[in-house]
Every structure is written in C-alpha cells, then in structure tokens.
Structure 1
Amino acid sequence: MPFNSGFIGRKHSTPMAPPFMVSAPGKAIVFGEHAAVYGQPALAAAISLRSYLLVTTLSKSRRTVQLNFRDIGLNHTWEIANLPWSTFHRPSRKHSYTSVVDSLDPDCLEAIIPHAEAVSKHLPDKERKTHIKSTTAFLYLFLSLSSSTSPGFIYTLRSTIPIGAGLGSSASVCVCLSAALLLQTHALAGPHPDQPPGEAEVQIERINRWAFVGELCIHGDPSGVDNTVSAGGKAVIFQRNASGPPSVTSLANFPKLPLLLVDTRQSRSTATQVEKVKILKANHPELTQTILDAIGKLTASALELVSSAEFQGSGASDAVQHLGTLISINHGLLVSLGVSHPRLERVRELVDYTNIGWTKLTGAGGGGCAITLFRRDIEDETINELERKFNAEGFEKHEAMLGADGVGVLWPAMFRNDTTGEGEEIDQERFENADGAQGIDQLVGVGVQEDREGWKFWTRDIALR
C-alpha cells in the first residue's frame, strides 16, 4: 500500500486493489483580484466545495482505461495498448514523477491529440472543446505517470464546485488526477498522523507540480495559483514578478471561516474584465493606479490580520469584524474599477439587508460568484429566508468553509456503518448515481466541517512557513 490506509472490514480474498477516492477543494480569491495583474499581491483561499475522484481497478483481462466525468457528460474508454506509450517513455524524455515540469512536451501533446479528439463527437463544438481539453489533461498525466503494463482502471469524477464560475474547478480535478496517479505508482508517502515534519510538504508539492501540468493542457498559460491552493489547502499569497515566475507563498495557518458563496449564474469573460481595467488605466492612469494600490494595501492588511489575530476564542468576533470590513472595502474598490455586475450587486444588496456578513465579488467579476464572510452566530432561519430569495431570483447558494483542507484520500473507498460498525464500500454505481452536489456530499462528502471519518489529508507544517 502507498500509505497507512487503515483498512476497514475489507475482504482479504479480493484479488484486485480496492477502490479508493481522492478529493481536492476549489478556491476563491478573497483579496486582490485585478490589482494582481499589475504586480499587487492577491490572497486566494481553498473552499470546502470539492471534486471527488473514485478509482476502480479492473480485472487483469480488461485492458482498458475509462474516464467518466459524470457532471459534464464526458465518458470515454481507451484500449491501453493503443495509447502512445513509446512517445512518452522514449529514452530522451527523462521525466519521472519527481520531475519539475513547467511546460508541455510538444511531441507528447501531438501524440495524444487523436486520442483526445475521439471523445464526445456527438456534442456541439463548444461543449466538445471542453471535453477534449479535460481529456487531454487526463491522458497527458496518465501516460506520464503510468506504464503500458498498468492494469485497467475506471476514473470516475464528480464535483460540487460550480464549473466555469472562477472557483478553480479544473485545478481541483487536476489535483485529484495527479494525486491518484501518483498513489497508484507508489510515489507518495502518507497521509498519516505520524508523518515526519516536512514530509507532507514534499508530497503536496509533488502532487501540485503534476496538477500544474494538467492545468497547462487545459488553459495553456495558467498562473499556478489554483492548483497550489487546491493541493495544499488553506490559502496562498500570489504576486507577479517583473521577470521570472510569480511568487506563491502558502499560508498554512489561515483560519477556517464559514462562508456563503452565491453563483449569479451570469456568464462572464475574464479576458473582457481584464481588458476593461486596462482601458480604464490607459484613460485615467493616476486615479486607476491609486485604486490598484489601495487594493494591494488591503491585501497586505488582511495578511497581517490572519497572521496575528485570534479567530478562535474571545477575540474571534473582533477579528472576523475586521476581516469583514476589509472585504467590503475591497468590493467597493472593484466596483470603482467597473468590474461588478447588476446581479452581483443584487446579491450584495440581499445579503446586506439581512446583516449576516460582508460581501464581495470573487474572481474577474462581470458575473460569476460573490462570497460573504458570515458574522458570528447567524440564525438558521435568516439563512433559509435568504435562500428563498436567492432561488426566486435565479441565484444558487452554497454554504462552505474558507481555508479548507487541501488534497485528501479515502483508502479504501469505504465508510464505517454507524449501526453495525462494519465497512460500507462506495461502489462505482452508487457514486455515479449520486444526485447532484447534495447527493455527492451525503455519500462521500468531506463536509463543511471536514471531519468525515476515513478521509486523511496531507497538512503543511506551520512551523515551516
């Protein structure tokens, strides 16, 4: 076994490896969007909406690999023997699971294009393009980290993260795939309670590096922030440099805070919103720079606060109030840059009326999502009434946790039955047929409190930060 799994009631007569599961969180930008484009710091944190990947090993006679991304309707099977192994494992290509890969091998990419383009031929071009990109990432990682002698597998993906809403859904999927494939090649240690200090950091970074490769396949030129947050959890500070790659610093002591996330279901284009700020800066350079500098100072203030304030105990209410005020100010500055949207402002208006917390847009704006940091001791009825209003206006509400744990493993994919104490296996059919985000959470979800029995997480060592 690749790590201390703590099997629960599995029958030892089973000849194949048991099904196992990997999960990784989405992310939200809490401070600094748009200003980050101009060299200011940004703070992004993991949220407890997650992707889940179930890995099922097939019998030795079934030499196929299947990708079943249920939530986007992607389901395709390849013959393992027909995949371009020779291109990925040629002598001149010396990448191993320990490699730091920051670009795609053009020969490898070209070799998998016909296999990726075989999927979903019945779909319209826009949907099929999404499927092809997802498949390209999967095949590139599978061929990089597996071998032609690998047994057959089914990789079944489900997600509770809204797709295309700026919440890092693709990075979460790439982290799941990276972790699962590295586990299958016995390239990871842990997670387990007695892991030596610093070892978990090495494992997280190994997962993160390969997840970034998947993001390269999907996005072409990703910043690396989304996969870094998803792999390590908690939060990061991200800052572009004048030359060289951006700096990404993990915040392993970022507090877990209850969060309301509202999807406006208003489509938006990141490029359009970035261009809007660029034009504003060209027309009003001094004024726009003042706003961008103010956002940068807000991010620095927030970093100082989360590094020193007491978010548990007697000082928690003051700390949350202070952080919430910074969130409200940040939203106002983003509005002044022209990147909000009437539906985002309507969410803020509804939340402000209930006085349950502090709201801002997250991500590029122009649609997408808004986040609200809850005040302490909010009553359930207030939330329920707000949800009714959201539903009436076509918004989608999620209660989540900010500062969530990063990549986690459930090995084997089994929970203990509370009544009998025996292990209950999560099989392929039950997982695939779970009804929406709520069904996924009920069956396998880590949960808002992140205390679901059986799940284990690599945790960054705070002492190393």
Structure 2
Amino acid sequence: MTSTQTRRSFGGNPLKTRTHSRSSSSTTSMPIETPSDTSPSPSPSLEMPPRAQIVEMTDTLEKTEINGSKKPRRPLNGNKRKQSSPMMPSFMVSAPGKVIVFGEHAVVYGKSAIAASISLRSYLLVTALSKSKRTITLRFPDINLAHTWNIDDLPWDTFSQPGKKKYYYDLVTTLDPDLVATMKPHLANVSLDASEDVRKVHQASASAFLYLFLSLGSRSFPGSLYTLRSTIPIGGGLGSSASICVCLAASLLLQIRTLSGPHPDQPSEEARLQIERINRWAFVGEMCIHGNPSGVDNTVATQGKAVVYQRSDYAKPPKVTPLWNFPELPLLVVDTRQPKSTAVEVAKVATLKKAHPQITDSIINAIEKVAESAVELIEHEDFDSEELSSLESLGKLMTINHGLLVALGVSHPRLERIRELVDHEGIGWTKLTGAGGGGCAITLLKPDTPPEIMRRLGTTLQEEGYNQFETTLGCDGVGVLWPAVLKNGSEDDMGGEEIDQDKFLNADGIEGVEALVGVHGESGEDREAWKFWRVED
C-alpha cells in the first residue's frame, strides 16, 4: 500500500512522508530475550536549540577541545605528518523512536504491553579521518554537545584485560564497574560550561558512546567524526536515547566489519542475527544512560515494527516477542510539553492498589485484555490497515485503554485536552502513551482526513503550546546509507549528492534534517539508497 501524509514538527512547515508495506514470508517468529532489568529513570527534557545556535556551534567545532585540553595535541616528535586519505567512505545510520500503544502500567504488574516504532528518527553521520588524525569526536548539535578524545589516551589497557575484553558476539547484561570507573576521567571535561541538568544529559550520552567505542574498538581504530541529528523530541518518552544507542552500536559494528547486509536478498534468519547483534550492544548503551532500562526501547528501535513485552518474574529476563508484520498506520503524536516523572506515576498506581486492591487489579487485568485483543485483531487475516472498519476496531481499543488509565489516575488535563480536540474534529482515536502525568498522547488517524481539518487542529494545538508530529506507526527499524550519498532530486542517475558534515550540521530543524538525509525525501518518496534489515513472519 502507499499513502501520503504530512508530518509537522516544532512549529515548522509540514513535511510529507510516505508509508510503505512489506510482503509476507513463512519464517517463524522467535521471541527475543532481553537482559534482566527494571524501569528506566526519567531524564531531563531538552528543547531543540534554534538554528542560530547550531550555526554558532558549527563555527566553533574546529576549536573543539581534545580531552578538555585548551591546547591542540601535537605529535611527540614535533614534526608534521603528511595527511593521508580516509580509510572508508562516510556513511549514515538511522533508527526510529517508539511509543507504547497498549498496556501502560499493567506491564509493571507482569501483564503484556505493545510497543511500536514511529517514523521520527535519529540520524548518525560517520566520517573517517585521515590516518594521521588520532581523534574521535562526538557531535550532537540538537543538544549543543561536542567533545573530542585522543584515541591513544583512552584506557585501552583496562578494557583489553583478560575477563574484561568483550567481543562483538558477546551478550553483555551488566556494566563492568571497573570499566565504568576507568572511563570517568575521560568524561570529566564534557560540557564543563553547561548547566548541571544539561551536563548530566551530555555526560550520559558521552558515556554510552565511549563505553561502546572502547568495548568494540581498539587502539588502532581510525580517527572518526560521529555527528548526530534527531527528529525525536528528547525527554518526551519516545525512545530518543534508545534510537541514538542503536545508531551508535550499528555504526561501530559496521566500522569493525561484523555486520552483513542489509540487502534485499538477505535471508530472513541472517537478518535476524544482525538485528540481534545491534540490539545487544544498543542495550549496553542504554544501560550507560538509564542504569536499568527495560530493553523494550532499543529492541523496537533496532527491529522496527512492534513487540509484545511481558515480565512476569523480575528475577528473570523479560519476554519480548516481535510482531514483524505489524502494519504501518497513520499516527499523530502530540507532546504536551508538561514535565512528568515515570516514578511518580508508577507510585500513584501502587498507592491506589494498596488502598483498593480488588478494583485496581480489575483495571490492570482489563488493560491486559485490551492488549491481547489488539494483538488478535492485528494478526487476524481480515485486518486491513487501509479499511476504516479495521482502524475503527483498533481505535476503539485505544479509547478503552485510555479510559482505564484515567481510572488509574495517571492522565493529566493537557492530555485530556488533546483527546477533546481530536474527538471534536472526529479524525481519530486518542490515548496517552507511556507513564502519563504529562508527556505525549497518540492518535490513530482516520484515513483520508481532509487537510483543512488537520491544519485547523494543528493551529489550535500550536496556539495552546503543544508540539505535534504527524508520523507513521510500525515503520522500519535500523537502516544504513552506505556511502552517504543521496540523489535529492538530481537527474544524474549514476551519481548523487554526498552528505558532508557542514550540510548535515546546518540542516534547519526537523524538516531540514529529513529533507537532506531522511528515509523519505521532500516529495514523500522512499529513498532507495537507504537499506534496512527486514524480517517478516
């Protein structure tokens, strides 16, 4: 199927995207077991800086300090070395965000929940430097993060000790405290001039990158620039950190040449293996940021589509079952911009359960039944994502789920206002997503909603201080653009436009990033240069 829709971002102009379907095959779905953990802790919310700040940052990137030193590092012999060519072409990696579609809060009590990818994505451009340059730089202009390390100064001896050294095929379920400790001096100078809250976010991001780099890389690793841009609201509960960790893990695994594909003829089981390899290391990055993540966000960001998540015994790993054939559906994501705390909302439900155990248990059980009904509906042979009747059946389940969450006391007036506005326009079915108490709401949109109604709703939401994103639910997972070349409307069939650092850094906001490098171009057409690992039932 093909459908065109408009994605709206932080007060910018609409950007058209196009969804696409996958053909089915007869392979068997295997549950993915993720490492044992608990719920993530909330992170400070950050707004994307205006373009002027990004441009200013770009102008000073050449002055980025090495390991916090004010003076650039020179070769020990004092002689200048001849510049050599990069070791590999620039390439890009992209991964989606995620939403919880069904089962919030019930999942805390061992019930099933459904999480699905959304087509708001992170993009990582990797540029190898000449052999004479012995530095790695992480740049994330959307949060004003830039830091450079000298490769030879990093604690390779500790990370390569017997019993400490990890390989690309290893399953890492916990962070090694000795390795974390030996990294700390190399994170101490990250964003020294930033506020405490911002610096906390920067250091968490840098720690994820550095832990993965030291685990997968080596002392002989080539100097490289890692430049991140994200179209996912940061701190909004949409899986932005997991999306970034997937990009980092996939890029490093590609650089050490331990991934095959992606390519159209790749066998399904081989694609599964590559996806799981990326997913395992993305989880390690998530541990650096959140401590004890659930493993759901990185799984969805890696494989795309959707998963059923359940953890009935906290002494054992959760069960994460992929829904490889989850359909692509039109979705409106609205950010309330209301600060929220997952811990506070979970505590609310626990208090209610203590005061009214039977009533609360009945609500939690009902939420589980809604999630189970949604899986049955989607997997039924008669479900058609282009038919209003099928979407209406799924939408009614979302409405029921939201009502049950309201009964648990985890909604918020700004969330209810979104539902009121959508219901008034009659364009879809709305529920809160995630912990509630603020954060985001999602709306399953009716097909062929008139553009004038969407514009009217968008104007109202903007006037009332909301951010909205028209996107796709159940999109592709991690993708690769190798080399980083796109045609971008060029008539030259044999060539294309190379995505260089300056163009990527200066892309103006969400629309600019998507127009320049996005999986979908400005016209909404799929860019064939982007390749994905795809697995189907």
- Bin of the TM-score, shorter chain as denominator length: over 0.9
Could you give the per-residue CA deviations for residues 42-92 of structure 1, whole angstroms, max 9, x where no partner exists?
000000000000001111111100000111111000100000011111122
Does residue 257 of structure 1 match 2:329? Answer: yes
Query: Hey, what does 1:147 align to over in structure 2?
Result: 218
Unpaired runs of 5+ residues, structure 2, are 1-83
Query: Hey, what does 1:106 align to over in structure 2?
Result: 177
Number of aligned positions between the proteins: 449
Query: Hey, what does 2:359 align to over in structure 1?
Result: 287
SS at match of 2:186: helix
Structure 1 residue 420 displacement after superposition: 2.9
1:405 and 1:450 in contact (8 A); partners too: no
Query: Hey, what does 1:76 align to over in structure 2?
Result: 147
Does residue 273 of structure 1 match 2:348? Answer: no
Greater CA drift, 83-92 or 137-146? 83-92
**1:85-96 equivalence runs, <5 A:** 85-96=156-167
1:198 and 1:461 in contact (8 A); partners too: no
Query: Hey, what does 1:6 align to over in structure 2?
Result: none
Query: Hey, what does 1:3 align to over in structure 2?
Result: none
SS at match of 1:49: strand
Query: What's the C-alpha RMSD, in Å, of the aligned pairs?
Result: 1.4
Query: Hey, what does 1:455 align to over in structure 2?
Result: 530
2:325 and 2:536 in contact (8 A); partners too: no
Does residue 350 of structure 1 match 2:421? Answer: yes
Does residue 423 of structure 1 match 2:496? Answer: yes
Does residue 128 of structure 1 match 2:199? Answer: yes
Counterpart amino acid of 2:218? S
Structure 1 residue 257 displacement after superposition: 0.3
In 2: Cα distance, 1:216 partner to 1:309 partner: 39
Aligned-pair identity (%): 60
TM-score for the superposition, normalised by structure 2: 0.82
In 2: Cα distance, 1:382 partner to 1:428 partner: 39
Does residue 435 of structure 1 match 2:508? Answer: yes
Structure 1 residue 311 displacement after superposition: 4.5
TM-score for the superposition, normalised by structure 1: 0.94
Structure 1 residue 209 displacement after superposition: 0.1
In 2: Cα distance, 1:197 partner to 1:92 partner: 34
Query: Hey, what does 2:297 align to over in structure 1?
Result: 226
In 2: Cα distance, 1:109 partner to 1:396 partner: 37
**Structure 1 residues 311, 71: closer, same or farther in 2, change over 3 A?**
farther
**Structure 1 residues 311, 257: closer, same or farther in 2, change over 3 A?**
farther
Query: Hey, what does 1:33 align to over in structure 2?
Result: 104
Query: Hey, what does 2:231 align to over in structure 1?
Result: 160
Query: Hey, what does 1:53 align to over in structure 2?
Result: 124
2:85 and 2:130 in contact (8 A); partners too: no
**1:315-394 equivalence runs, <5 A:** 316-394=387-465
Query: Hey, what does 2:168 align to over in structure 1?
Result: 97
Could you give the per-residue CA deviations for residues 123-149 of structure 1, whole angstroms, max 9, x where no partner exists?
111110111111110000001111110
In 1: Cα distance, 2:309 partner to 2:464 partner: 35
Query: Hey, what does 2:56 align to over in structure 1?
Result: none
Structure 1 residue 418 displacement after superposition: 2.8
In 1: Cα distance, 2:238 partner to 2:378 partner: 21
SS at match of 2:241: helix
Counterpart amino acid of 2:355? N
Structure 1 residue 241 displacement after superposition: 2.2
Query: Hey, what does 1:445 align to over in structure 2?
Result: 518
Structure 1 residue 95 displacement after superposition: 1.9
Please, which of 477, 483, 489 is the counterpart of residue 412 of structure 1? 483
Query: Hey, what does 2:31 align to over in structure 1?
Result: none
2:432 and 2:441 in contact (8 A); partners too: yes
In 2: Cα distance, 1:290 partner to 1:349 partner: 26
Structure 1 residue 197 displacement after superposition: 2.8
1:200 and 1:461 in contact (8 A); partners too: no
Structure 1 residue 447 displacement after superposition: 3.1
In 1: Cα distance, 2:423 partner to 2:155 partner: 56
Please, which of 185, 205, 210 is the counterpart of residue 281 of structure 2? 210
In 1: Cα distance, 2:86 partner to 2:284 partner: 33
Does residue 181 of structure 1 match 2:252? Answer: yes
In 2: Cα distance, 1:366 partner to 1:254 partner: 28
Unpaired runs of 5+ residues, structure 1, are 1-12
2:165 and 2:215 in contact (8 A); partners too: no
In 2: Cα distance, 1:53 partner to 1:414 partner: 14
In 2: Cα distance, 1:282 partner to 1:452 partner: 53
Structure 1 residue 450 displacement after superposition: 7.6
In 2: Cα distance, 1:191 partner to 1:197 partner: 11
List structure 1 segments (4+ residues) > 6 angstroms apart after TM superposition.
none
Structure 1 residue 106 displacement after superposition: 1.1
Structure 1 residue 15 displacement after superposition: 5.1
Greater CA drift, 170-179 or 316-325? 316-325
In 1: Cα distance, 2:465 partner to 2:273 partner: 43
SS at match of 2:387: helix
1:22 and 1:52 in contact (8 A); partners too: yes
Please, which of 251, 257, 266 is the counterpart of residue 195 of structure 1? 266
1:255 and 1:311 in contact (8 A); partners too: no
